Amino acid sequence: VFLVEESDARGAIAPRRSDTHKGSYGHVLVVAGSHGKSGAAAMSALGALRGGAGLVTVATRSEVVESVLGHTPEVMGWPLENRGPLGMADLEPLLAAADKKDVLVVGPGIPRGEETVKLLGTLLSRVEAPAVLDADALNAVATDLEVLRRAKGPLVLTPHPGEMSRLTGVPTKDLQKARVEVARDFARTHGVTLVLKGARTLVAHHDGSVYVNPTGNPGMATGGMGDVLSGLLGALLGQGLKLPEAAWTAVYAHGLSGDLMVARRGRLGLIATDVAKGLCNVWTRWNR
Amino acid sequence: VFLVEESDARGAIAPRRSDTHKGSYGHVLVVAGSHGKSGAAAMSALGALRGGAGLVTVATRSEVVESVLGHTPEVMGWPLENRGPLGMADLEPLLAAADKKDVLVVGPGIPRGEETVKLLGTLLSRVEAPAVLDADALNAVATDLEVLRRAKGPLVLTPHPGEMSRLTGVPTKDLQKARVEVARDFARTHGVTLVLKGARTLVAHHDGSVYVNPTGNPGMATGGMGDVLSGLLGALLGQGLKLPEAAWTAVYAHGLSGDLMVARRGRLGLIATDVAKGLCNVWTRWNR
Amino acid sequence: VFLVEESDARGAIAPRRSDTHKGSYGHVLVVAGSHGKSGAAAMSALGALRGGAGLVTVATRSEVVESVLGHTPEVMGWPLENRGPLGMADLEPLLAAADKKDVLVVGPGIPRGEETVKLLGTLLSRVEAPAVLDADALNAVATDLEVLRRAKGPLVLTPHPGEMSRLTGVPTKDLQKARVEVARDFARTHGVTLVLKGARTLVAHHDGSVYVNPTGNPGMATGGMGDVLSGLLGALLGQGLKLPEAAWTAVYAHGLSGDLMVARRGRLGLIATDVAKGLCNVWTRWNR
Amino acid sequence: VFLVEESDARGAIAPRRSDTHKGSYGHVLVVAGSHGKSGAAAMSALGALRGGAGLVTVATRSEVVESVLGHTPEVMGWPLENRGPLGMADLEPLLAAADKKDVLVVGPGIPRGEETVKLLGTLLSRVEAPAVLDADALNAVATDLEVLRRAKGPLVLTPHPGEMSRLTGVPTKDLQKARVEVARDFARTHGVTLVLKGARTLVAHHDGSVYVNPTGNPGMATGGMGDVLSGLLGALLGQGLKLPEAAWTAVYAHGLSGDLMVARRGRLGLIATDVAKGLCNVWTRWNR
């Protein structure tokens, strides 16, 4: 079990070379959002942009595309023309959306239904890019963990303890007493990288290594923080960081942004977009 | 009659423990907003978020859900699919929305009609969580005060003098001459906590205790300030503060935020979202 | 011809008394906006809010109500359910909207058609509150100046030289050579207060007095500045300032806000909402 | 080949005279945006506004007009009532939109189809104002370069290397090895000004002169930066700068804004609207 140090996280991100362009920093596809949860997509996309992504496209139900874009004009929308929960009818549009993307972030605020797990399983089995599974993508995958094994590219899962409980069947209370063991076991068994969120977020890789994150604070215990993290993690993968480094670097930077914001603005009123916007404080501190 | 002091308000909010998560700080359900008054819902939700709520969901007419979320992506929407004024057809959707919520904030900008009072009465009689009634929820309830007695959970009402006049039948002028008495009498008679807003906001509890708030200023005499207060009060209740402490703490913090902002930006141009955003100055000052 | 001095403008706004509430500072009705020009309504409403209005309601085509509110949640919307240019079918809805309002601001971005002048004439003949006519309300009124005489309440017109040319038939070039005379003559003839915008904005009152404004700068030569001014002027009228004081105070404060912003941010990139938000610098400087 | 120096760029923008108005600084027509790419239009319009344009109108599909305006209320919308890709059915509406405009910016996020090149060719052959062609307007024009010769007014094209490759048929790799020659040749052959973006952006004019820009940094390698540049360039043309000065001044200021922002906020999290908003730092530094 490794403790992530600031020099590790800083060192994982290479300084930018001058002869680069937006294509050098990755195109992130965020599959997220629905009517009433458009903000989740917007926050994940913002996390990706503020995390250095070259381009960010959000694939979401057509009716909320403009709502998502309304928060951040730098984001592009990929309208999914069907209605209702994500299902097999969305496969072709999502495969088209995923074409030439460097990384997928799937889950924040998606409309989930019975077919969602089958859709995600098929999608992941046909896309080579690394994928971050978060929020309702985790809840969907929990119903059939075989989809993890069938994924063509590397997978990162970012559950909070409640979602981890659904993934493993272990009650949250028990899980919290054996976080390292449960996380390591899951990562190994399913061949993924697992980010188990909470007071001391863990990153467990399928090679058995486990990383403990020292940053973050209880002011971050508020809605949307996870969406920002999944976007940031997608951005780092898109910039070429490998796993598990990308995961523990994202977690470290996300928590540090929260710590720097809280020092200035208190704990109680911190909200998720503060942490996304505050990432610039981390990059400045790291000269990145 | 007690004068609330800063140490009281600060002391009512416990420092956050590190082993907590968003579930520890409450899920606030805001029932608010309508076409033309979507901003009221947005401001109440923002007050809740900047007041430290773990999660905030706004139940509102489907047509304005995305407008409400457009202001603050951290907010989730619960679309109410009927049309027109809130009525009994909204009962089941609202009961579903209220499930597993820690507190309700009801009223800012709701579409009010004949059935609204019956709806609110039935809703409150079936929900155990504490509820804050504000704005048009007060005007609805004023037509049948029996709904207050039938409420299952603790109630806080936050009228300004005009709304208080409708609740009591006492002309505003007379009411303003006897604020303490009128407020205490109402709180006792109806078994609620009453926040009577105005130049010196009062909190009257059903046990007969009355609290006078010293913060706030006439720069805050502008639309939406009450919406922010109701959201903040909901956030504090959701974080486990009890009544009447939650009420006088919210009122104190809200007024202090306004005072700190006015010192920086003058009185005339202060607007409600300034006070919501400025809550971070209070939390920093209080180390919370 | 008087030169407005800072002490005059500052002195025209009384310090706020502590025993006041939002009703003390006026409810401004802004009649503005249309599809493609929703921003004009938003900027006028923002000018009113940042100018100290107690409440601001925007009456606008239903289809753009939420667009207008999307910029500033403190604003309320009054949906006008008809379609197309403003005409007599909008009279009753507008009379209802104007009920209990303290001041009207009419014109920014309204959909103008043949019937608009008749509508405005009838509306103004039946509303006692003072009214600010701006932008396309001026272009409508230019086709029948009799509507000015029939107005029940005091009127302020805020044309730029092009609009003044349409109001008077005097070519812009000639008009600019005789600004004082043209403005004074128009104000006297039509019994109004006239704000003739430009490099040195003039305020001419129907009593023959003329006031020259020394603030403002060419960085303010960009779209929307007039919308902010009309809202600010409405706010001051709603706070009880009389004419012509309200007019030259608004013009002075608006230009001073622009001057203070330009000193910080340069001329080229100044935009109208900067000046609206920057009003707080004026109020702080004036201790108001 | 000239290296642009700061004094050149600063000197190209005249200080503003006090006897000017919004008409003095040009009305920019931005033809941009579509469902899912409304942000591109918003960013280009913001670049124009923060670049000093007197007025900015965005012509875009009616369904996204309000989305575009939602980002910046100072922008006006010109709804294009047809549906689908831009084609000949949009000619008359666009000619009407272009009437009395001082400059056109065409391309960011437009819906492109088979007829788009014909539409653009016809439009440009009938409009005298200078035009900036960017993004998908370049991809359309690449299919028939004859449209460049038929343009009535001066043209500036702003391709990144991928778009330049499509314009010339030269593979990106080869093109990047001979940037000066390829750019100069294209500008001469087609009688245009060419802005070839990249690590050292070049401006090539049809008289054979080539200008190298020294500002900018790899933090700007993220989506939307080009949209902001095209809007800024439109604003400078609208303010009366001539070609090629307008082009290398815009490129210099855009890069300098990025450099100043990166010094404050790091590279990784820089986004396009930061650079648009940050133009004020350039104007302040240049006393413009």
Measured distance CA(B202)–CA(B158) in Å, rounded: 10
Question: What angle do helix axes B38-50 and B62-71 make, rounded to 10 degrees?
Answer: 50
Q: Which of B271, B274, B277 to mutate to test the interface with C (most CBs of C within 10 A)?
A: B271
Query: Using CA atoms, how far apart are residues C71 and C68, in angstroms rounded to an integer?
Result: 6
Residues B275-285 have a mean pLDDT of 97
Percent of chain C with pLDDT over 70: 100
Considering only CB atoms, which chain B residues are within 8 Å of A108? none
Q: CB neighbours (10 Å) of residue B208? A: 10
pLDDT confidence of residue B90: 98
User: What is the structure's pLDDT at C192?
Assistant: 98
**Token pair for residue B255?**
């007024």
pLDDT digits (tens, 9 = 90+) for C48-106: 999 999 999 999 999 999 999 999 999 999 999 999 999 999 999 999 999 999 999 99
Q: Burial of A18 by CB count in 10 Å (0-12 exposed, 13-18 middle, 19+ buried)?
A: exposed
**pLDDT tier, C253 (very low <50, low <70, confident <90, very high otherwise):** very high
CA distance B102 to chain A (A): 14
- Per-residue exposure over D223-242, b if at least 16 CB sit within 10 Å of its own CB, e if not: bbbbbbbbbbbbbbbbbebe
Which chains does chain C touch, 3 or more C-beta pairs < 8 A? B, D
CA D146 to CA B112: how far, in whole Å? 63
The token pair at A136 is 């309702």
Nearest CA in chain D to C269: D50
**Chain C residues closer than 8 Å to B46 by CB:** 73
SS3 content of chain C, % helix, strand, coil (to 5): 50, 15, 35
Minimum Cα–Cα distance from D65: chain C residue: C36
Q: What is the per-residue pLDDT for A61?
A: 98
Query: Quick check: C217 and D18 CB within 8 A?
Result: yes
3-state secondary structure B35-70: CCCHHHHHHHHHHHHHCCCCEEEEEEEHHHHHHHHH
- pLDDT above 70 coverage of chain B, percent: 100
Q: Determine whether D208 is exposed, middle or buried from the number of CB atoms within 10 Å of its CB (0-12, 13-18, 19+).
A: exposed
Helices (H), D55-211: 62-71, 91-98, 116-126, 136-141, 146-150, 161-168, 172-177, 179-190
C74 to chain B, minimum CA–CA distance in Å?
6
- Which has the closest alpha carbon to B43: B63, B60, B80, B68? B68
Average pLDDT, chain C: 97
Helix pair A62-71, A38-50: axis angle to 10 deg: 50
Residue numbers of B between 120 and 159 with CB closer than 8 Å to A: none
A134-160 pLDDT, tens per residue? 999 999 999 999 999 999 999 999 999
Query: Whole-angstrom Cα distance, residue A130 to residue D287?
Result: 48
Determine, for residues D76 and C36 on separate chains, whether the beta-carbon distance falls below 8 Å.
Answer: yes
B14 to chain A, any CB pair closer than 8 A? The answer is no
Under 8 Å between Cβ of D111 and D84:
yes
Beta-carbon contacts of residue C70 (< 8 Å; ≥ 6 apart): A70, B67, B70, B71, C42, D70
Residues B175-185 have pLDDT tens digits of 999 999 999 99
Determine the residue of chain B that is closest to C59 in CA distance: B36
Residues B162 and B143: beta-carbon distance below 8 Å = no
Partner D contacted by A185 (CB < 8 A) = no
Q: Complex ipTM, two decimals?
A: 0.97
Q: How far apart are CA D38 and CA D60, in angstroms?
A: 9
- pLDDT tens digits for A43-58? 999 999 999 999 999 9
Sign, CA torsion A225/A228/A232/A238: positive
Predicted pLDDT of residue B126: 98
Q: CA nearest D176 in A: which residue? A: A19
The reply to whether B267 touches chain C by the CB within 8 Å rule is: yes
Query: Are the beta carbons of D280 and C266 closer than 8 angstroms?
Result: yes
Give CA separation, C162 vs C167, C169, C198, C204, D144, in Å. Answer: 9, 10, 10, 17, 42
Say yes or no for a CB contact (<8 Å) between A19 and D199. yes
Q: What is the pTM (predicted TM-score) of this model?
A: 0.97
Of B23, B72, B283, the CB nearest to A268: B283
Q: Where are the alpha helices (DSSP H) in A104-244?
A: 116-126, 136-141, 146-149, 161-168, 172-177, 179-190, 225-238
Q: Do D288 and C265 touch (CB under 8 A)?
A: no
What rounded mean pLDDT belongs to chain B?
97
Query: What pLDDT digit, counting tens, does each position of D197-231 carry?
Result: 999 999 999 999 999 999 999 999 999 999 999 99
Cα B232 → chain centroid? 7
| Residue B92, both tokens | 């089941």
The residue with tokens 């809605």 is A223
CA dist., res. A1 & res. A18, Å (int): 37
- Most B CBs within 10 Å: which of C74, C78, C260, as the mutation test of the B interface? C74
Starting at the edge strand found earlier in the chain, the sheet holding D202-204 runs D2-3, D210-212, D202-204, D193-196, D155-157, D131-133, D103-106, D27-31, D55-61, D76-80
Closest CA to A138 of A166, A171, A172, A175: A166
How many Å from the N-terminal Cα to the C-terminal Cα in chain D? 27
From D263, which residue of chain A is nearest by alpha-carbon distance?
A284
Give per-10-residue mean pLDDT for chain A (288 aa): 98 95 96 98 98 98 97 98 97 98 98 97 98 98 97 98 97 96 98 96 98 98 98 98 98 98 94 98 97
pLDDT of residue D142: 98
pLDDT at residue C46 in the model: 98
pLDDT given for residue D253 in this prediction: 98
- Flag if B49 and A269 touch (Cβ within 8 Å): yes
Residues from chain A that touch B18, judged by Cβ atoms under 8 A, are: 199, 217-218
- What is the distance between the alpha carbons of residues A182 and A174, in angstroms, rounded to a whole number? 10
Looking at residue B260, its pLDDT comes to 98
